[in-house]
Every structure is written in C-alpha cells, then in structure tokens.
Amino acid sequence: MARKLQVAVSGLGRMGARHARHFLERTPRAELVAAFDPNPAAIAWAKQHLEPYGVKLYTDFDEMLKHPGLEAVVVAGITTEHASQSISAIQAGKHVLCEKPLSTSVEISQKVLDAANLKPHLKVLCGFSRRFDASYRNAWERMDAGGIGRPAIIRSQTCDKYRDDNYFVEYAAHSGGIFVDANIHDIDLAFWFFGQDSVVKSVVATGINARYAGMAKHGDVDNGVAIVEFWGGKIAYFYSSRMMMAGQTDTTEIIGTHGKLTINANPANDLVEMHEPTGIRREITETYYDRFEQAFVRESNEFTECVLDGKKLPFKLSGAVQAVKIGSALRESLQTGKKIDFDENGAQIVDERARL
Amino acid sequence: MARKLQVAVSGLGRMGARHARHFLERTPRAELVAAFDPNPAAIAWAKQHLEPYGVKLYTDFDEMLKHPGLEAVVVAGITTEHASQSISAIQAGKHVLCEKPLSTSVEISQKVLDAANLKPHLKVLCGFSRRFDASYRNAWERMDAGGIGRPAIIRSQTCDKYRDDNYFVEYAAHSGGIFVDANIHDIDLAFWFFGQDSVVKSVVATGINARYAGMAKHGDVDNGVAIVEFWGGKIAYFYSSRMMMAGQTDTTEIIGTHGKLTINANPANDLVEMHEPTGIRREITETYYDRFEQAFVRESNEFTECVLDGKKLPFKLSGAVQAVKIGSALRESLQTGKKIDFDENGAQIVDERARL
Amino acid sequence: MARKLQVAVSGLGRMGARHARHFLERTPRAELVAAFDPNPAAIAWAKQHLEPYGVKLYTDFDEMLKHPGLEAVVVAGITTEHASQSISAIQAGKHVLCEKPLSTSVEISQKVLDAANLKPHLKVLCGFSRRFDASYRNAWERMDAGGIGRPAIIRSQTCDKYRDDNYFVEYAAHSGGIFVDANIHDIDLAFWFFGQDSVVKSVVATGINARYAGMAKHGDVDNGVAIVEFWGGKIAYFYSSRMMMAGQTDTTEIIGTHGKLTINANPANDLVEMHEPTGIRREITETYYDRFEQAFVRESNEFTECVLDGKKLPFKLSGAVQAVKIGSALRESLQTGKKIDFDENGAQIVDERARL
Amino acid sequence: MARKLQVAVSGLGRMGARHARHFLERTPRAELVAAFDPNPAAIAWAKQHLEPYGVKLYTDFDEMLKHPGLEAVVVAGITTEHASQSISAIQAGKHVLCEKPLSTSVEISQKVLDAANLKPHLKVLCGFSRRFDASYRNAWERMDAGGIGRPAIIRSQTCDKYRDDNYFVEYAAHSGGIFVDANIHDIDLAFWFFGQDSVVKSVVATGINARYAGMAKHGDVDNGVAIVEFWGGKIAYFYSSRMMMAGQTDTTEIIGTHGKLTINANPANDLVEMHEPTGIRREITETYYDRFEQAFVRESNEFTECVLDGKKLPFKLSGAVQAVKIGSALRESLQTGKKIDFDENGAQIVDERARL
C-alpha cells in the first residue's frame, strides 16, 4: 500500500482549520496525523472534526513536533508565530508549509530563510496560494510561451468585501498593514511574472481611510495604491481595499509588448446570471477562500508530492522575503509620504539631505 | 448644392414619428417635405416638431401623394394600412419604405409585391431593421466569408420587456399574432443567413399565456416556441416572449459546421457595470427601438442613397412575403396543434386524411 | 474511527475510471474496495492506479458483488449493461449509483425501478450529474424561493465539442440517439425545474446531419432540436449538437413569469482572458467532464452521505424512467417526422387515422 | 423656419474633418457655413465633401472669422494653434468649441480662460468628449444620486491600440507627453467625479518605453502610471499606453464607500461574439473615435443648443486649465523621478533642500 506523508497542522483558526481538512480529506497522498492549537475553542472543534479520523491533538507546539513519524508541518496560526514555529519545525527536521507572510518584518522573514538554507534537504514553502491557482498558472504559461511578448506592466489588486463590524480595524493591529497583508500576493505575482531576480528600482504608496477611520490609529489604511518600478523597464502597480461591496475582487493584468492577459477581470461566484427588472446580475465570491479554495487544495497536494517524490518546489522561499521587503517599503512610503529609490542592486538609496 | 431626396412620412405614431425625425435630422441626403396622419393628436405633435422645419402636414393620404416634387414615401402607420398605402404610393410613382410587415395576410402582402413588380424602376423596401444593424451585418459578413463553415442551425428570439398595463393584450387584436409580429424578424434573419431561396420543409409552433391570459381571446400567446425546417438540411428555431423582466432581449445564434456566431448574447444598455452588495449588475435596453435605433437611422440613409444613386436595395421585397408566409403557417400550427409539412417547392402538403 | 462506506465501481472506461478515482481520493467518507472490468486494458490501468491503494480487482461482475463487506456499487460501464448490473446489485442488497441512462429503452429502465421498489431500504440513484452542480442548484433554489415567479419556459442544450475522428458516428450505434444520450440531461432538468410530477402534453423533434453524415445509418443526427410541452402551460425546448467548435457548451435558461435565470450562458474554462490583435478571447471547457467535474465529486460524496446517514436521496429514481420516456418519444418524432401528443395522464394519443 | 447656428470649423485634419461632418450632417440645429485649413490636401478634401453643401472654404483663419453671420468656431487643428485661435475667435465675439487640450502649457491655457472670462456672454467649451458619453453620464448620475456612497478612489486609463509605424514617436514631439495628451481625459474625469473644486495634494508618475524606444528622445514614454492624491481623502490613479494589441481600451472605475461603477471594463466593438476552435472571441474598438463617436456628435449638438438657447455649458472652462496643470506636474514627476506635493491651496511645495 502506497505510503502517505505524515502531516501536522499548527493553528486551527479559520485558515488553519481549512488546511487541516484539506490534508484530511482532499490530499490523497497525505495523512493528517496531528494538530496543534493553544485555544480551547479550536481544540473543541478539532475533537469533533479531526480526532474521530485519527488526528492526535496537541496544545503544545513543541510536543506536537515530537509526534511519532511526523514528517511535515503546516504553519497556519497567527502571523506573529509563523517565523518561530517554522524555524522550530525546520530545526526538528520537518518539512514546512508556512502561510504567508513568513513575518511582517523583513529581518525575521530572513531568519526563516536562513534556517531553511541550513537544511537544504527539507522542503520549505511559503503559501502564496495564487501560485497554485489554475487561472494564474494558465496566464503564466501563456506569457512564458511568448504569448504577450515581453511583460512590461502588471496591474494587480487584492480587494476584500466590506464588513459591517470592526474586524478590519482590529485586524490592522497585527496585519503589518494593507501592503504587507493584502498586496503581498500582488508583489509575489510581480516577481513570478517579471522573474524572481527582478530588482526593485523605486516604490511609492499612498492610501486613505474611506470607511474604517479606526485603522488610522494602527498606521494603516482601508484603501491603498502603490507603484513599484523594477530595473530593466518594468512597472507593477497595485490597489488594495477593505470595502468592496460586491465581494472579493482580486484582479490582475499582465501587459506585454504584444498582448495582455487578465485574470479575474470578471469575477463570478458560479455560472448563474439573473435577469431581473433591474437588469442582469451575477454574484461574486465573498471571500479570499471562496475564490482560491481549489488553489489551496492544489497547494496541499503539490507540497505533499514534492516531499514524497523529492521534487523541486514550484517556487523558492527567498521570494517570500523579497515580497515582505517590498511590502515593508510600501508601508514606509505610505507613512512618510516619500517615494523610495533603490540602486541597481536593490539597496535603498538614502536621501542624504533628509539627514540634515 | 447637392440635391436631396424629397420624402414624406405616412403615420406619425410612435414609430412613424421616429422615422420622421430620422429623415428630418439624421439623413443628410434627404429632406422631409411632407407628413400625413389622420389623428389630430399626431398632427398637433407635428405642428410643433415638424412644421417649423418646413414640413407640410396632411390629414389625407392621397393629398399628400400629390405634394409637389415628392419622390418617396415612408409607410409607418397602422399595420392594416401598410399594404394599401404602399400600393397607392407605388402607383403614384413614389419610392416606398414600408414598415414591417407588409400585411399580416400572405395574399395582401403578395399584392404589394405585385404592384412593385409592375414598376421596377421604383425602390420598394420592407423595413426589416435588423438588416441594417451593424452587429447583424458583421455576423453575416463573417459567415459569408466562410468563417463558420456552412450555416446549419439558427436560433433566434424576439423578446419584449413585460408591461404592467394591458398593452400587449390590446395589441394582440391586430398584430397578427406573436409569430407574425415578433418572430417575423427572426424568420427574415433565417432567409438572410440561410439564403433568400431557402425552401421551407416544415413548421411547428406552440405557445402559452403565462402572464397575459387575455391574449387567448385573440388566439395569441405571450410566449411562443417554433421550429422551421428548410429543405437541404437547415433548421431555424425561434422563441418570442412578451414578459422579459430585464428588457428587450433579442438574441441570435448562427451555428455552422465550423463555428458559431452570436448576436446580442449579452445584452447591455451601455458600458456601465455596477458593483453592489448584491453582486455585479448591468442594465439592458428597454425597447426594440433602444436596441435598434442606429439601425433605423442607417435604414433611412441607405434607402435614400439607393434611390438617389440608383443602387440596388440591400434585399428584395419578395422576402417580406416569404416571411409572412412562414409566420402565418406558424400561427396556424399554434392554433391547430399540428406540424405542417411542405414539399420541395414550398407548397403546403395537405393531410388528406384530415379531410375525412 | 469513523466508518467508511465500502464501495465498488463497475466499469473502468473513461467515466468509470473517474468515478473510481473520485471514490478513492475525493470522497472522504467512502472507501473504494473493489472494481470490475472485463477488459484487460482497463485492468492493467487499475493495477497501477487502484490496486496499490488496496482496491481488489475483478473481471467477473458477480464475483465482485460477493466482495466481503461491500455495501454499494457504482455502475459506470457500457450503457447496455447499466440495467442488468443495477438489478443484480440491488438483488444482492447493494446500494447503487448508476450512470445515466438506466437504459435507452423505457421498458428496461422501468425494470430497474421495479427492482429498486422491491428493496426500499436501498439507495438507488441515477447519476444525473447536473443535479449536483453548484450553479444549477443555485438557480433551482432561487426559482424555488420565488425569484422568477412561476417557471414557464425552459431552454436547455447539451452540445459537445466537435471531433475530427469517427467517434460520434461509432458512438451513435449504441447511444440511443442524441435525444436520449445528450438531451436526457435537459429533459431531467425540465422535470427538476417544472416539478417531477409534470405531465407531458406533446413532443416534436427534428434534426440534421451537418457534419457527420455517417450518423444517418444509425438513425441519428448530429444536431437536434425539440419542443416538449407539459400540461399546465409549460414548455421546454432543447438543442443538442456534436459539432461545437469552441468546446462543450451546455446552457440552460429558466424563464419565469417574473424573471429569468441562465446557467452557463457565458462558458469559460477559467478566469483568464487574452487581449490579442484579433480581440479579446477566452477558452471554454472541452468536455462534459471538464464542465462538471466538481458535480461528479459532489455526487459521490452525497450518495455516500445518504447511505451512511440514512438520508433521502436528492431526487427519485422514477425521474430517470420519465426522462428516457421523453427522450424515446423525441427519437420517434425525429424518425417519423410527426408530432406526438399525450393525454392528461401522459398516455400517448394514437392517431386513429394513421391506422387506416 | 427655425434658425440654425452658423458654425465654422478650423482645422480639417483627422479630427477636424470629423467635427465638420458632425456639424454638417448630424447637428440639426447648426449649419456649417465655413471651414479653414492652411493645408492644400485638406482643402482638396473639403472641396469634395464640404463645398458642395454650401460650406465656404478659407486658407486664412482671420479671414474666416469675418465670414458673414458666423457665430461659433470649432478649433480642431494642431494643438499648438488651439490657444491662439481660440483667443482670436473669442476676441472676435465668436462662441468657441476647442479640442482638448487648450495647450500643453498651463500658462497658455490660462490665457484662453482669461480671454473667455472677459466675454462672459460667449460659450467657450473645451472638448472633453467623455463628458458627453452616455456611459460616463450614466455612471456620474448614479454616483451623484448616492449609488456608491462617497467616491474615494478612481482608476482610469487611456490606452491606444499599437501601431506598426512610427506615428507615436513623431506624435510625441508635440503631444505634450502621454500624461498631458492621453491621461488628460482621465484627469478631467477625476475632477468631474470628485468635484471640480478638488484640490491636488500630490502627484507622482513613472513610465517606460516598452515598444517605441524612439519616444525617449522627446522625453516621453509609451506606458505611463501615475497617482494623484487630492486633499480630503481622494485618490485617482492612472495608466496610459500606446501598445494595446486588441484596440482602444479606455476603462474607468469609480470606487465609493458603498459601491463601485465601471465604465468599459469589457470593451466591445459591437454585439457579435465568435465561437471558434480557439474559444470565444469578440473584437473591440480600434480607435478613440470608434469608442466615442456618439459622444462627439452629442458634443456638437449640446454646444449648439447651449448657444442657441442660452443654456449653461455642461462644465466650466476652468477645469481644462486644472487638467493641464495636473498633466504637466505628472510630466515633471516622470522626468525628475520625484513625487510632487501641493499645499491645501493647491500650490506646489518646493523642496527647499532641492535648491541647495
């Protein structure tokens, strides 16, 4: 009988619980053997939904790492634990699939990369889910085959459906800000489509609080706009928002010298259209997960396959550090109101006059 | 100074008034010189909107025909007058643009054709507006250029927006029924795309009164479905309705052996889309005129050009008789519940047993 | 540990192999324990893809039925075996999920129903996959909630992508004809949306061989059009084709007195659009499975859930017999060129004169 | 007989010739009486297309201004003459419809405004064609009615179809650069939707030459991205390009606190869609004029109506100066690589350190 990867999930919050179910039910070559969460409510949920299927539950992360036969850990708890848990797991010899971002800090993100580099036989993946989405992959392959000439401009946005409650304000306290939290996906896409070795030339960002005034106290905005230039004549520009009325609206355009590809320019929840007295209407996906569920499942399966079959991961961990670097620079630009320039090695150019 | 065609419009009801304005304001090579309507309300409107621009008003059709220098007449009044006015105008030596249908009766339609055939130097056009629509023409040219192989199946529908009043019921008293009144456009399209010499092989129709029960007393339905077979392996199928909620929904598919063309598969009023809590929405055109306004204007201009420059009309008058013939057969099938077959010359095959 | 339904799959051809994988990999509460196929090539495939995961392979159907602990059988082999295998499985006390159609014969389909009725504790499901599709369900729920008033007209089509080989001609030898094979889905939808107790009033069908002349020798067509009237003022009209160039194009419209729902009016393969010198383009799904993969997976899961939890199946087996009855009548109409009428009990009205 | 506005057109190049025809043929209340162009080729065209309809031709602009009875001048020649001709015409007591931009220089644009302010009884309009487009107006009215809450973010782009020749490079010599030439429409939209009294807070722009390297010698780019902040928490961001493969792609999004409106998010040339082996395709408009033809015609008619009936123009001339101011600042930002800040009165904040 074919052997299955022995996997544990750390963190059983909203996204962690989904990862747990993906490995339990929708990743045929993996076996979910353990799960960790310090939160009693999460454990209660797990007793009902995971334990009956043979999953051992832990309230101590380090104990879970010692679970017999454990091979891989999915780090999916709160962002502030991503880096430390990933490093512990790596040091314990486990393969790691860590939710994005590794950290909201460039330095801490780098430490995860350093730890991984010391264990080159381990697979360490940062979960940029769009990398596993069928549409983004289709677009990338078309671009890679020359279908749009040389890619030159990327427009990409990550826009959440509004919420009537205080969620986004509270979330802003720890999210790292809208550019690190939301546009990090778009930044990662820029590296994917422009090439992982692209070197940033400048960043500039601005934003407003149009609907959730409370975000200001966390130095965050509910709508952000940014431009990132890369050396070699490439530009990415981004938009992020927390107040879309219709639903999650994540759209990307890849504009090349000889064509353009769009991904999700026309969002839809399914294939139903309604003809009503007010016109023709369709609904769109509410949340990020509604949009990317299949991508998350493919992520689980491909991570499993890479470990079991010794295959290369589809993208490098170093990109996750680069993305945080850009996201952090955008946050700095938002807060200072200054454009930030970088030299051809990607080192930030400090305006000497600013020190006067 | 370039000479302009001297035109009169007969009938200043809803559609006639539009024709009058098209010739007055949007047909540079024509001059609207006269207009007729027996109705005082229409004349009152014309005194305000036509007379100030030099249009002579008449309440007697035959008097109008004697207007000095008159060259062409647009017959746009009530359907029951279409044929007699067209014949009078032809006999008076005028070019004629007659609104569809020539008549709801095949025999009477044929009389218009006979009159026109006696005056071959006159241009006599039945106003099938879709023939002048940019999208239908684009589709036809693509088909004609071989873009879809051999056309084999046509699906076409003429579907009106619902109305809360009794309009459709009253209208049914004289419209000739939904297949003659509404689907006649689709029947004409079938002849256009399959070829004007196509020979009908069978027709069958059915229908219901889903919303306007009162139509039954006129032998009419508010939703009709029909199949028309042509000899040589071609099928057209039609739908018509009086109860579309979103607006006028006239859609056509031309299916060939090697491709398909759709016209108005995604109706829209303009280029605006609304993102709302209920999803993404657009409005669509409310009426036939909203959808085909530009086609009506092109009709006026091309009719004028054909007369002034002695060009061939874009399609033959005989097609208008053929279309009424099919429409009438569909009405008969609706009322008898029988499929009607035709021989290879297009003559109706009478079921001898039915006479027993 | 939660118990899993013990399932076998009969027939490992294209669709059977998919069912096997769905139960093996994507139906967490089921365990694929056995599979049957008389064909060595299929068994060779199964040795590689099923046996390593503990699936016992059989080349004798009756032997497979004796597999220890077997609870349910998926009948997914050739159509001519559907009925006999289903009956055998039922008589052996197994739950059955049978691919559509039960049979191309009404009488034989009825025998499956009779067998099932004798074992009311067994779950016997005919696999109308669209019943499990998220979009069709969304539409049905909206209709059921009154969103379009009373449903009155259904337009539905099942249109396959063309093939350059002789597949469709060979397939026609045993498929039961395009109305039984393809439009059976649309017929089933009519019963679903109009109500399972709808009574047919008339059927009429026609068709052509536009591209695959060889189908004529099997009495089949490559393009079919049909109208089915139901008592109570409801009409369904259908189209089926084997020559769509762009891909699988299965579209449905549900038209009510106060609104319309469309399902897949704008087919798409994914969320990518290409801007090219020739315009804006998107690809669409190639095959029925590409379109309905998620529905098939949900079918496996819900069938499993109904058995394990003793729930009612989402629809009755009797509908599968009704659908074959209508499909067969359409085939008869196609072949005779006659419209067929039914009385208010759904009994075919024989034209006495035809017997003269 | 109703009197008609006596109009002259200055400049019979591509756009001027269109304006001439619009006033000749599609503006019922106006009469084109004169036209000016210094270019013999243009005059030759006019002898054929305008003179036969009674239009007097001039090769001297000042002579044309003396045309008996002349009331209004359309200034549609080369951009460098817009301002001086407009001023001359105003001083001669003529109403003016001037093509955009008044000038590529803020100072010169201001002189036109000053001249107009001295003759408040004259109608002086800068031809921002999108202001007359049905879709933009529909969107504006919905926003104005509160349909999207408070507008907060505008995304807008003006993107031309690529050309294989050297046109764009030559054009860049005098166009004022892509932000003044192309995005000026988007800037004007920002003022329209955010309010004409919006005060700029900062601008930043960047760009590349992805396809037409020759533009660099004119200090211009073939792809530009820009962000414009306004005081009061409003942001507009822009894209412009000269290399769209599919056609003219001018898209705008108006994002409010409670909804979003898009204009032309799904460009199309007409209502035809093509189903082909490569998928489903539609063509889009090739040029700016293809997209906005109806808007230009409405512009002619409304300008005429405002003069004849003494109505207020739909928007103020001062906005045209504001738009050039923003466009010029974007050009400066592009060239210096610096973000430019403005105080709450809209005065540019000069970085004192930069003067060191």
Domain boundaries, chain D: 5-127, 134-292+322-341
User: What ipTM goes with this model?
Assistant: 0.95
- Is the pLDDT reported for residue D353 higher than 70? no
Model pLDDT for residues A147-194, shown as the tens digit of each residue: 999 999 999 999 999 999 999 999 999 999 999 999 999 999 999 999
The CB-side HSE value for C260 (13 A sphere, CA atoms) comes to 26
Flag if B281 and A284 touch (Cβ within 8 Å). Answer: no
> Which other chains touch chain C, taking contact as 3+ CB pairs less than 8 Å apart?
A, B, D
pLDDT confidence of residue A3: 87
Closest CA to D222 of D185, D291, D172, D188: D172
The CB-side HSE value for B296 (13 A sphere, CA atoms) comes to 22
**Best residue in A161, A241, A270, A280 to probe B by mutation, most B CBs within 10 Å?**
A280
**Residue C315 — very low, low, confident or very high, per pLDDT cuts 50/70/90?**
very high
The alpha-carbon gap from B316 to the nearest alpha carbon of chain A, in Å, equals: 37
Average pLDDT for A97-110? 96
The alpha-carbon gap from C151 to the nearest alpha carbon of chain D, in Å, equals: 28
**Best residue in D245, D336, D342 to probe A by mutation, most A CBs within 10 Å?**
D245
Contact status of C245 with chain D (Cβ, < 8 Å): yes
pLDDT confidence of residue C125: 98
pLDDT confidence of residue C104: 94
> Can you name the residues that pair with B75 across neighbouring β-strands?
B10, B98
- Is the pLDDT reported for residue C356 higher than 90? no
- Is the pLDDT reported for residue D1 higher than 80? no
Structure tokens given for D47: 């002898």
**pLDDT less than 50: residues of chain B:** 355-356
Least CB-CB distance to D206: which of A229, A266, A354? Answer: A229
B9 sits in which H/E element = strand B5-10
> Can you name the residues that pair with C261 across neighbouring β-strands?
A274, C254
Q: Please report residues of D whose CB lies closer than 8 A to that of B24.
A: 28
pLDDT confidence of residue B34: 98
Q: Decide the pairing of beta strands C223-230 and C234-244.
A: antiparallel
The alpha-carbon gap from D209 to the nearest alpha carbon of chain A, in Å, equals: 7
CATH tag, C5-127: 3.40.50.720
Query: Percent of chain D at pLDDT above 90?
Result: 97
pLDDT confidence of residue C48: 97
Closest CA to B204 of A60, C154, C341: C341
pLDDT confidence of residue A286: 97
User: DSSP alpha helices (H): ranges in chain C?
Assistant: 14-25, 40-49, 61-65, 79-91, 106-117, 134-144, 167-172, 178-181, 184-194, 288-309, 318-336
Q: Give the distance from CA B158 to its chain's centroid.
A: 11
Flag if D272 and B260 touch (Cβ within 8 Å). Answer: no
User: What residue in D sits closest to A164 (Cα-Cα)?
Assistant: D258
Average pLDDT for D41-48? 97
pLDDT confidence of residue C352: 59
Q: Decide the pairing of beta strands C272-276 and A272-276.
A: unpaired
Any idea which fold D134-292+322-341 has?
Dihydrodipicolinate Reductase; domain 2 (3.30.360)
CATH architecture of the domain covering B132-292+322-341:
2-Layer Sandwich (3.30)
Q: Please report residues of C whose CB lies closer than 8 A to that of B255.
A: 223, 241
Average pLDDT for A213-222? 96
Cβ under 8 Å to B: D residues 116-145? 134-135, 138-139, 142
Model pLDDT for residues B17-48, shown as the tens digit of each residue: 999 999 999 999 999 999 999 999 999 999 99
Contact status of D69 with chain B (Cβ, < 8 Å): no
Flag if D260 and A245 touch (Cβ within 8 Å). Answer: yes
pLDDT confidence of residue A75: 98
Q: Decide the pairing of beta strands A151-161 and A200-208.
A: unpaired
Tell me whether residue A139 is exposed, middle or buried, using C-beta atoms within 10 angstroms of its C-beta: 0 to 12, 13 to 18, 19 or more: buried
Are the CB atoms for D110 and D133 separated by under 8 Å? no
Q: Please report residues of D whose CB lies closer than 8 A to that of C248.
A: none
- Is the pLDDT reported for residue A356 higher than 60? no
CATH architecture of the domain covering C133-291+322-341:
2-Layer Sandwich (3.30)
Average pLDDT for C257-280? 98
Separation between Cα atoms, residue A104 and residue A85, nearest integer Å: 15
Model pLDDT for residues A254-283, shown as the tens digit of each residue: 999 999 999 999 999 999 999 999 999 999
Contact status of B276 with chain D (Cβ, < 8 Å): yes
Model pLDDT for residues C28-71, shown as the tens digit of each residue: 999 999 999 999 999 999 999 999 999 999 999 999 999 999 99
pLDDT confidence of residue D274: 98
Least CB-CB distance to B53: which of D2, D24, D134? Answer: D2
pLDDT confidence of residue A350: 82
pLDDT confidence of residue C241: 98
Model pLDDT for residues A310-349, shown as the tens digit of each residue: 999 999 999 999 999 999 999 999 999 999 999 999 999 9
pLDDT confidence of residue A1: 58
Structure tokens given for D247: 């056609």
* Domain A133-292+322-341 class, CATH top level: alpha beta
User: What residue in D sits closest to C269 (Cα-Cα)?
Assistant: D279
Contact status of C92 with chain B (Cβ, < 8 Å): no
pLDDT confidence of residue D58: 98
pLDDT confidence of residue D178: 97
pLDDT confidence of residue C304: 98
- Is the pLDDT reported for residue C12 higher than 70? yes
More confident residue, C1 or A35: A35
Are the CB atoms for C314 and C308 separated by under 8 Å? no
B269 phi-psi bin (left φ>0, alpha ψ -120 to 50, beta other): alpha
pLDDT confidence of residue B145: 97
> Which other chains touch chain D, taking contact as 3+ CB pairs less than 8 Å apart?
A, B, C
Model pLDDT for residues D199-235, shown as the tens digit of each residue: 999 999 999 999 999 999 999 999 999 999 999 999 9
pLDDT confidence of residue C93: 98
- Mean of all residue pLDDT scores within chain A: 96
Closest CA to B106 of B343, B315, B316, B320: B320
Flag if B276 and D261 touch (Cβ within 8 Å). Answer: no
Contact status of C54 with chain A (Cβ, < 8 Å): yes
- Is the pLDDT reported for residue C1 higher than 80? no
Is the torsion defined by CA of A80, A86, A91, A94 positive or negative? positive
Average pLDDT for C82-94? 98
**Best residue in B280, B284, B290 to probe A by mutation, most A CBs within 10 Å?**
B280
Separation between Cα atoms, residue D206 and residue A340, nearest integer Å: 13
User: What residue in A sits closest to D232 (Cα-Cα)?
Assistant: A208
Identify each DSSP E strand in B165-233 by its residue range: 200-208, 223-230
Separation between Cα atoms, residue A238 and residue A222, nearest integer Å: 14
Average pLDDT for D293-305? 98
**Residue D350 — very low, low, confident or very high, per pLDDT cuts 50/70/90?**
confident
Contact status of D300 with chain B (Cβ, < 8 Å): no
Average pLDDT for D321-328? 96
What lies within 8 Å, CB to CB, of D88 at 6+ separation is: D61, D62, D65
pLDDT confidence of residue B353: 56
**Number of helices followed by number of strands (H, E) in chain A:** 11, 15
Separation between Cα atoms, residue D271 and residue D249, nearest integer Å: 17
Kindly report each contact of residues D217-223 with a partner whose C-beta sits within 8 Å and lies 24 or more positions away, as own/partner.
D218/D169, D218/D172, D218/D173, D218/D177, D219/D177, D219/D331, D219/D335, D220/D172, D220/D175, D220/D177, D220/D178, D221/D177, D221/D178, D221/D334, D222/D168, D222/D178, D223/A152, D223/A153, D223/A235, D223/A255, D223/D178
What lies within 8 Å, CB to CB, of C164 at 6+ separation is: none
